[in-house]
Amino acid sequence: MRPTHWDFPLELCCRPMAFVALTGLDVTYNAIHRAIWDAFCANRRADRVPISFKVLAGDHEYPKCKQRRTAYEWYIPKGILKTGWMNKHLNLVPALVVVFYELDWDEAQWKEKQSECSTRVEIVRQSLQGRNTKVAVVLIQKKTPLPPGEDLIASERAAALCNACDLSGKSLFVLPHTDHLVGYIIRLENAFYEHAQTYYYTEIRRVKSHKEFLNKTTHQLLFVRHQFKTAFFSELKQDTQNALKNYRSAYNLVHELRAHETNMLEIKTMAGFINYKICRLCFQHNAPLDAIAQFRKHVDLCKKKIGSGDLAFEHTAWMSKQFQAFGDLFDEAIKLGLTAIQTQNPGFYYQQAAYYAQERKQLANQLCNHDSLATYPSPDPLETPSGLMDFFGQRPWRQGHQSIEPPDNEKEKVGILALQHKERDVDHSELIITLLSNAVAQFKKYKCPRMKSHLMVQMGEEYYYAKDYTKALKLLDYVMCDYRSERWWKLLTFILSTALKCAYLMGQIKDYITYSLELLGRSSTLSDEQKSRVEKNLIKVLMNESPAPEPECDSKAIKSAQKMWADRISLAGSNVFTIEMQDYVPFVECKARFLAPSFHIDDPVQLHVYLRADCPHPFRFSKLCVRFNNQEYNQHCVVEETYQTSDILEASSQGTMCLVPGKTRQCTFKFVARTEDVGKKVEITSVDLVLGSDMGRCVILNWRGGGGDAASCQEALQATRSFKRRPKLPDNEVCWASISILASTMVISRIPKVSVQLRHEPPTLTNEMYCLAVTVKSQEVTTAGDVKLTAGLKPGQDANLTQTTHITLDSTEMCDDSCPALLPDIPIGDLLPAAKVEMPLYIRCAQVGTRVFLVHVSYVVTTVVEGKEIICKCHKDETITIETVVPFDVTAKFVSTKFENMDRVFADIPFLLMMDILSASPWALTIDTSRLELAPSMTSVDQMESQLAQVVLQTGESASECFCLQCPPAPVNQSGVASGRYIISWKRTSAAKSVPVVKTVITLPHVIVEAIPLYVHADLPSFGRVRESLPVKYWLQNRTKLVQDVEIFVEPNDAFMFSGLKQIRLRILPDTEQELLYNFYPLMAGYQQLPGLNISIPRFPAVSGQLLRRFLPTHIFVKPQGRRADEVIVVAA
């Protein structure tokens, strides 16, 4: 019997597949046969039929079939399931034997080959005598066969071969060895699979046929056996639904068996096997809830079936295996696509398996440690003649025994003794650690940190019991971080105690000191007596002596540890240890804080360090030092006290480094910052508290930053949220909870004693020389030396603003792009007390927008700090935001000579350019001059002079001027032409005379130029008088190279009578003009409409009369008829 008889056999855990034996293949020396075998077994994908192939010799001896039993009346079964039955049907008894034989249909020696093939088949049948195993023949042929029915010789010879071998036509196959070998093999597999299913169906029928001979009085075991066999054959047949149904029936039958101490193990073993099969199939059918329900039912039914009390550890081992196996099944299903959750994952089953393994260990320690186990019994009661058990779950010394009482009580005692002896040799810790490790991996995967930490603690304890202290310490140290952060102080104390034992037994001095420091601290739940013991051991270690052994340690391990500690004392190694306090909760707390978040350079930097101890007795330290990011300050923050090592626990009220439990000790430091550190941070990098001395061992307690340990942050948060009233303390004490850490401070420059005034007239106008007057006045009591001014655009603004902003000190010349946006370090010189200086700055902003300007004044002054003379650099900054706006809006438009808006102009016909300037400045503007620069495509009709020179515009006022222009014909394929530029020279009215004027250039819009074939204009007086003749001349000019026919019609109206041709048709020669003369006779006074002149040009129908009328006056002012006296006066005038 195997010592681990509760383990599941491999044939139970594997997936059952139909077993097919292949004979006649020489896979060693025949390349064709090797290729056929490789095609069967290599690269078997999931879509291929589930068959297990094995190459056997043609005369292979198969297991003999036992004689069929015809009656069960007097048959008493000896057990439920034989140990070799599953393996026999998986690997020994095939469902189908395939005989491979090389034979082509056109073989010359057909008769001899046929006879040899039938002989091979007969040998196989003789080997399988009594079994229902199917036999098939595969002919290996070199040629590809013809389609069925076409090769008559092949059909005849196939029938002859079937008769000779006593085979049906469905059991004869042909395998051509061609390029498509794998395809033929897959077809063969499918045929083999059908034969195998037929075989297993027959076996199921055979097993079921036995039931009618059984009775429930003496054949209960056979009911279970046959039901299990039926289910197993169904699995081999790949009928998993029927297999699951039969396994469930078998499971129920197992628990119907009458259980007693002698057969309890067999019942549990078979129940475990069948439960494993049921759960596996439930997972396979994607029914995980059914699997979990079945397993829970299984555990509930079996957990109280303990059996013999002397072998109770076997029951816990069996239970542990059940949980482990289910966890493996669950994990395998997850890998195949099942989704698990936090509250239901394999980790819980591995955890329960580990708990049962721990219980097994405890029972083994109780039952297997008595004196009678001194020697192993001889002869060995666990050995069997064959070396194997006949039935699963039986005892080796009473195989096949099914009665309630054991056959031999003496053998029973010896067998139990042997089992206990073997159990004593089992490494239980290794089993427990493996299961816990599996559980930890699952809980880590499903993000269950607390469960993971809890199990890691148990793993550490098991490593401790297994005397693997290194791994134990590593695991415990890892989980202590979680328990510190979550403030599980009782659990942390328990883990620390175990870790302290490991450190002692390993002789790890630093770890021993670290854990001792924490066990003495405020997080420890040890009693005062236990803390005193730890404290005394810590003092011994600091005095370079061996500590007393930790309680509850193994005696052998203590002796080994004492030798290691003695070796540590004798070795002349390093006795200085540095311990980082941020990762622990030690018995000493430290908080350091600067008295202010910043200090001026002319004030000393002040720092307080607070210390508090929580140990049972006062503790003395030898040195306290504070380290900064600038090491030059370290020398100013050191407190050192010399004492004998033996005086560590002696309280001294005079000693500054003696910490009394519960009392806060304050150390004050002061130093002068360096002038080079102005604008920099002074940070506390660490606080070191030295415990011990150079005579013994020296321990440096190091706090990074300003102090605090693993529990400080949470304690500080709770203190801020607490509404509990703090007790009133004496004046010389401080409340520890009210102290906050301030580990950095800023060294800032001395407060400047100068005033900076800025005078200007916002906003600034685009491109103007904007004056910003800066006045600096000294308020120092001594001379301010090396005064410098930096002024301009404040850095860090938009790059586009930087490129369009320029500043200068020269007011006589306009700023160009070479001038910077910021003038640095303009020297002013020294300023005597109460003296002041004014400096004008001129700024040009080429683009609108909001800008922030900076005025920075720096100087040096000598002062005395703490008796030390230092030179302070002072500076004062003033910023001002100035908006830049456009000075005016300029509008350009083209109008006709009648001041009508034009969207296009006509070639060689005069038109007007109107320029309108609207002031947008809040300040008065003076226009120095304006001028028009025409493009080459544009000409002036008259002399161009500025009409706006020295005009002053207030806010919202506008000024206009116009120019009479004309444009020659545009080039071919170009309709739009450039007009030119309009330049305005201006400046603020309030600006000084020295400030140059600003030239604003406005680019005029392009204009569309069109040619007109006929130009019409009129010559008439400026006014008329009622009932007096008004002569009017019309000029028609042909602008083309063609003769133009022109039709003219004069439209009369009620305001005028006229003489002349009312309708006329003219012909005008190229580049000539025609004159028409009319006398209009006004009938009404006022602004009257003239008779209309309708002109049409047949050659250019696109040119309308309305377009031509745009060139003619439409109205004239008619004066009323005057008296004679008035006329005399007019003539005289």
Is 621 or 1123 the better-scoring residue by pLDDT? 621
Angle between helices 509-519 and 528-542 (to 10 degrees): 150
At which residue do the structure tokens 């906050």 appear? Answer: 740
Tokens for 686?
Answer: 């660490």
* Interval 169-199: pLDDT, tens: 899 999 998 878 888 999 999 999 999 999 9
Q: Residues 6 or more apart from 372 whose CB is under 8 A from it?
A: 417
Residue 372: is its pLDDT beyond 70? Answer: no
pLDDT value for 1129: 43
Q: Which amino acid is at 1080?
A: F
Work out the pLDDT band at 443, boundaries 50, 70, 90. very high
Q: How far apart are CA 496 and CA 476, in angstroms?
A: 8
- Taking alpha carbons only, the member of 215, 256, 180 closest to residue 75 is 215
Tokens for 958?
Answer: 């506008």
Work out the pLDDT band at 723, boundaries 50, 70, 90. low
Tokens for 1132?
Answer: 């005289």
pLDDT value for 573: 59
pLDDT value for 1130: 46
Report, as an integer, the average pLDDT of 883-903: 88
Is 149 or 515 the better-scoring residue by pLDDT? 515
Q: How far apart are CA 115 and CA 118, in angstroms?
A: 5
* Interval 265-275: pLDDT, tens: 889 999 999 99
Work out the pLDDT band at 543, boundaries 50, 70, 90. confident
Work out the pLDDT band at 3, boundaries 50, 70, 90. very low
* Interval 418-441: pLDDT, tens: 888 888 888 899 999 999 999 999
Q: What H or E segment, with its residue span, contains residue 1038? A: strand 1030-1038
**Three-state SS for 326?**
helix
Report, as an integer, the average pLDDT of 52-68: 87
Least confident among 75-89, 588-602, 635-649: 635-649
Mean pLDDT over the full length of the chain: 87
Residue 687: is its pLDDT beyond 50? Answer: yes
Report, as an integer, the average pLDDT of 6-32: 91
How much of the chain, in percent, has pLDDT values that exceed 70?
A: 93
Tokens for 530?
Answer: 């236990």
Phi and psi for 86 in degrees, rounded to 5? -65, -45
* Residue environment code for 694-710, b if the CB has 16+ CB neighbours within 10 A, otherwise e: eebbbbbbbbeebbbbb
Residue 1125: is its pLDDT beyond 80? Answer: no
C-beta separation of 417 from 377 below 8 A: yes
C-beta separation of 641 from 655 below 8 A: yes
Handedness of CA 655, 658, 663, 667 (dihedral sign): positive
- Taking alpha carbons only, the member of 162, 172, 156, 171 closest to residue 118 is 162
Q: How far apart are CA 619 and CA 74, in angstroms?
A: 88
Work out the pLDDT band at 1123, boundaries 50, 70, 90. low
Q: How far apart are CA 206 and CA 800, in angstroms?
A: 97
Work out the pLDDT band at 726, boundaries 50, 70, 90. low
Report, as an integer, the average pLDDT of 851-862: 92
Q: How far apart are CA 914 and CA 899, in angstroms?
A: 9
Residue 159: is its pLDDT beyond 80? Answer: yes
* Interval 1019-1061: pLDDT, tens: 889 889 998 888 989 888 888 888 888 888 888 888 888 888 8
C-beta separation of 392 from 12 below 8 A: no
Phi and psi for 884 in degrees, rounded to 5? -105, 125
pLDDT value for 653: 43
Q: How far apart are CA 116 and CA 721, in angstroms?
A: 98
Tell me the sheet residues that pair with 1117.
1023, 1087
Residue 233: is its pLDDT beyond 60? Answer: yes
Query: pTM for this one?
Result: 0.68
pLDDT value for 1092: 82
**Three-state SS for 832?**
coil
CA 678-679-682 angle, 5° bins: 80
Tokens for 675?
Answer: 């002038």
- Taking alpha carbons only, the member of 373, 322, 36 closest to residue 173 is 36
Work out the pLDDT band at 715, boundaries 50, 70, 90. low
